[in-house]
Structure 1
């Protein structure tokens, strides 16, 4: 029996859903009772419905307010092969409701519809990948020590295992053998391409796995949490396979693949891992409609135990951590730099600082924390005036660390599962900037290129002194893979593609690229202030950080705008003012009354715009399921200032049924802010 059933048929009836694998008709079927949603395994169940629907797999089950829904993959596409295992990208998910349509229609709930809309958008736009027989959540190095006798989902790395957890819970609770129905899915980026350098065909693979812990959007997920998880944490693995029969949608004839010596040899697999993640402190950028939001850092000392948790896990998984910090050393970003350095200094037992290289490290390692090495590189200063080639200076700062960390290298005998590990990666470079996106992407691609050249020379594909960049086809493939990776990671966090990808794709920086980045920056401003609340809610809903059925909130409460009427109306007044002023200008009527009319609405529009940007926190689209404490405090403070305003203060009610308007607006947020794993 395969690790996971490759394709299922679904038989729906008024009493249950039956999931079967047509390729294994004698295998037990997964039966989901309706309307309870209870799961059981049944051998040879009675099919009450002859019609069936084919699906690629099950993403899990989620319980909302009124009903339970089985999330299934109805359409996916093959993106390539890794060591003969097909890899797929999810294209179209669907929801199978457990209760009848009549029940849903009779008990119509707007919140239920909103939850489903959030989930559909999240699953449709979030890039998710899976394989029926290959563990995509683990790196090649971790797979080399894994117990392959375990079911595929038990081998998966929990950090990158995005499949809804309901089936796992049912197995643990009822001891059901549902292994063949649990499909490990990861969220991120994956590119598999067959190529060649000189006469050596190879497969180039780039994988970025986004952690499901503290997942979210740019301004609503920052820093570290009480579990030691940091925001926007991604593990990127660059893999090169030489001697394989094929990895893309096509492939090579294994009999035609020569080795460097002209003799057939084993398959060579090399990989290199890098990580990125938010600065492990308690900090946030508070959205207030200003282009540059307010930076808030709280309790550096209080964050140290949780930063220690984070680095303990990273050291256990990767060995020494070389923390490359790319934030500015001047201006507002200096606060984040100072917080990071204070945390590292505290974790290190006997820190020393090199003024010239700005490196904090230890000569003698006495504790786990002594395996943390801090490297500061002022990217904006060193690469100012679009001299981005100067990022190579970071290689000099890293020095011996790049050589000593090595990379993973295994030789596999043909199609045999057994392999010989020749080399392992002993440390990892953890890169961050403010968002862990744009500057981080440039540096990570540079480090990946340096390591790739080293690997190709070690494998005798290139001679010493040669560079993979000299081969135009491969150079284009490499640059575009890393630029596409940057865009995917950025869209998941900010809603737009990455900045500075022009340099990654072409190796040069131009004014046109700078203008394109300006456009992205403006789009980010709009999305981060006015659209990221629902995106954050979707993350929390899918990952189980918010449970609608356990929220205790009455129907149609969560998504209703309960700000005071005047606060809501100012936006409409501004829109009406702009329309009427433009209409008057187009009419070109020079009469005094029209001039006074235009002057009046211009004044009203200017005041409305000034009011909105002065009290920006009242107009940010905040998450409604798990809102941050500092957002609630900021909202209350902004509303309090409006109430004290001599002009409009009287238009805002002081109290409503004994509760402040701000609390009425955010009561659903406070009730749901506790995250439940």
Structure 2
């Protein structure tokens, strides 16, 4: 089995970057020629030291990325241990460095902006890796894989976060390079898979029974992005904000310590910290979340509630079919829990989801249940007579907001009760560790398999989804502890061990915050429910703060964030965009429109200065203040009424609704009695040609 190198030295010279592993002197050295970027493997003992300007030690190679003028190598310079997962150390990426292949003498604004986006993305993203264990796959999928293959070849492509920036290395591995057109397995140890998301490992006890609790959330690299710029499905069936969350319990975990193989154990004497003679058991439960699987969008215009757009259900049918075909193939039956509101603006999204499910399943049968709170407490859609693959879809609607209104958060448990039979059949993964001669090659003897999955969503797949997923996890953990004989049937771990319950709640709340921040830019709402089990006034005030922060970030800051996702994940490649220099990031709005917010700020400043001046009571000064207040009010009104012109839109892969909305708004502005005549009729604006080029480039990539 080929595993990634734990230690890599990089030698920097004027003609190449050379990577070697000091602990594996017989392994081939990886050379990347400058400035061509050609990859080759050479004998490490023959690597020349002449011309080497510096030698650095790195934790791994994240990948290579081509921007508009040059290629860059991204390396991991610092990694922090996050804990041991079944004896294997897991690391969080703390810092990275970017090596250019060319030494640029002249600065290029676009190239510098591309680099700034990549650096900001690398700095903000929670990424994890391991040299020994595959973090992209759940334990159940790991148990079914061939462990003799290289680590990167066993990964789940959905969660191999740096797959695009590793493309050059993977292509070299499969096809070879210049002068060597053959597979090159020698590069395998240099390919390091990374996941993006959450990974918490907590050695603890439950009722004095030592165990390790782990929570892993893997974010899909497909359709990655920010809250309002990635909704629903793409044409390939990838859902936005798609995450797989795995809750793991390891009993008698011999390798949970941070120090040696068994923490406090003594390997020489064979005493494994009190675990001798006890089986190491692995129990895991997997859930998924993903955006409502139709074509839909929310269009920013500086209004707190964006405009909702839902495209034709028939048009999205092939994409939804591809999406659920993959979900069923990987997880088996899918229980689709929909938590959006049944009234108001969210109703259209709910109806679109239900129409899509009815198109997918055979002879759909609806069942409604009402109570004193709502006419539609539950709505289920099941196939009449299962005949085809998509009859493994089971739709369950739960009116979360209506049921929990008035701080009645305990009523969310009604959904778990409704799913009780499905959860009983679903089960969870359970296996016994079967250590081999080397603990690196250990195997799992499977005792039980999880046969289905719950796919939960609300509008953002964040706040309501987080609460419901934590309730499902708690329900399944009760069952695990009963099956292990640690707890009696009918009891709940929340009552049996308050300290463990506190740990459980906070791990799930931390998970909610990280998932939310990567998508919306802020922590999650309703985490008071997850942390304490109750809805609190303080939690509601915190949610207000989160809502205001989200509004500001999603309207004024998310454009560059979306560009960074598109750049790192390969949804946009600068080299194929065919866009002229210095046009990509330029603000193409008419100068007068750009200046309105600044005029508003200066007008307000003049008004305030007038109010506090010594002659504020004179008629002239009052008129002065009133004039500047009127200018301020007009500017604010103009910005709010033409919000599409002031949203921070992605520039690399412009959204179709942004293009349409811009042209509609600019046409309206031309008719404005005050500013209209001053706006040039032939301003370049957001050039339609540029949008077409960007879209064509994106399609070529896909």
TM-score with structure 2 setting the length? 0.93
2:652 to 619, 625, 647: 625
2:500 to 462, 474, 489: 474
Aligned to 1:611: 638
Aligned to 2:193: 184
Distance 1:663 1:139 in 2: 44
Aligned to 2:576: 550
Aligned to 2:172: 170
Q: Does 1:293 align with 2:296?
A: no
Aligned to 1:429: 454
Q: CA deviation at 1:404?
A: 0.3
Distance 2:346 2:548 in 1: 20
Q: CA deviation at 1:668?
A: 3.5
Distance 1:662 1:386 in 2: 48
Q: CA deviation at 1:247?
A: 2.4
| Structure 2 contact 2–151 (Cα < 8 Å) conserved | no
2:211 to 184, 189, 202: 202
Distance 1:248 1:287 in 2: 48
Structure 1 residues 628, 248: closer, same or farther in 2, change over 3 A? farther
> Where in structure 1 are there 5+ consecutive unaligned residues?
none
| Structure 2 contact 2–150 (Cα < 8 Å) conserved | no
Aligned to 2:624: 597
| Structure 2 contact 4–189 (Cα < 8 Å) conserved | yes
Distance 2:19 2:9 in 1: 6
Distance 1:643 1:3 in 2: 62
Q: Does 1:457 align with 2:478?
A: no
Distance 1:382 1:98 in 2: 58
Aligned to 1:405: 426
CA deviations on 1:100-135 (whole Å, 9 max, x unpaired) are 2xxx123x2101111111111101110000001100
Aligned to 2:318: 305
2:71 to 65, 68, 71: 68
Aligned to 1:10: 10
Q: CA deviation at 1:297?
A: 0.5
**3-state DSSP class of the match of 2:575?**
helix
Aligned to 1:560: 586
Aligned to 2:246: 237
**3-state DSSP class of the match of 1:238?**
strand
Aligned to 1:22: 22
Q: CA deviation at 1:364?
A: 3.3
2:336 to 319, 323, 330: 323
> Where in structure 2 are there 5+ consecutive unaligned residues?
177-182, 370-377
More displaced 10-residue stretch of structure 1: 44-53 or 305-314: 44-53
Q: Does 1:157 align with 2:153?
A: no
Q: CA deviation at 1:176?
A: 2.5
How do 1:45-444 and structure 2 match up within 5 A? 45-48=47-50, 49=52, 51-100=54-103, 104-106=104-106, 108-163=107-162, 164=165, 165-174=167-176, 175-177=183-185, 178-249=187-258, 251=263, 253=265, 255=271, 264-356=277-369, 357-362=378-383, 364-414=385-435, 415=439, 417-444=442-469
| Structure 2 contact 363–385 (Cα < 8 Å) conserved | no
Distance 2:218 2:41 in 1: 32
Q: Does 1:36 align with 2:36?
A: yes
Distance 1:593 1:85 in 2: 77
| Structure 2 contact 297–309 (Cα < 8 Å) conserved | yes
**3-state DSSP class of the match of 2:335?**
strand
Q: CA deviation at 1:396?
A: 2.1
Distance 1:268 1:380 in 2: 39
**3-state DSSP class of the match of 2:541?**
helix
Distance 1:410 1:571 in 2: 61
Q: CA deviation at 1:418?
A: 2.6
**3-state DSSP class of the match of 2:401?**
helix
Q: CA deviation at 1:267?
A: 0.9
| Structure 1 contact 40–176 (Cα < 8 Å) conserved | no
TM-score with structure 1 setting the length? 0.96
More displaced 10-residue stretch of structure 1: 551-560 or 577-586: 577-586
| Structure 2 contact 18–32 (Cα < 8 Å) conserved | yes
1:670 to 671, 692, 696: 692
| Structure 1 contact 573–608 (Cα < 8 Å) conserved | yes
**3-state DSSP class of the match of 1:281?**
coil
More displaced 10-residue stretch of structure 1: 216-225 or 416-425: 416-425
| Structure 1 contact 192–248 (Cα < 8 Å) conserved | no
Distance 1:252 1:196 in 2: 16
**3-state DSSP class of the match of 1:271?**
strand
Distance 1:668 1:582 in 2: 43
**3-state DSSP class of the match of 1:111?**
helix
| Structure 1 contact 437–489 (Cα < 8 Å) conserved | yes
2:671 to 644, 653, 659: 644
| Structure 1 contact 375–397 (Cα < 8 Å) conserved | no
Distance 1:239 1:129 in 2: 17
| Structure 2 contact 254–272 (Cα < 8 Å) conserved | no
Distance 1:533 1:472 in 2: 44
Distance 1:281 1:329 in 2: 17
| Structure 1 contact 240–269 (Cα < 8 Å) conserved | yes
Structure 1 residues 214, 248: closer, same or farther in 2, change over 3 A? farther
Distance 1:160 1:327 in 2: 26
Aligned to 2:180: none
**3-state DSSP class of the match of 2:442?**
coil
Structure 1 residues 173, 413: closer, same or farther in 2, change over 3 A? closer
Aligned-residue CA RMSD in angstroms? 1.6
Distance 1:583 1:468 in 2: 63
| Structure 2 contact 2–148 (Cα < 8 Å) conserved | no
| Structure 2 contact 589–686 (Cα < 8 Å) conserved | no
Q: CA deviation at 1:667?
A: 4.5
Distance 1:630 1:193 in 2: 45
CA deviations on 1:186-205 (whole Å, 9 max, x unpaired) are 10000000001122100000
Distance 1:161 1:403 in 2: 31
Distance 1:252 1:453 in 2: 29
**3-state DSSP class of the match of 2:158?**
helix
**3-state DSSP class of the match of 2:105?**
helix
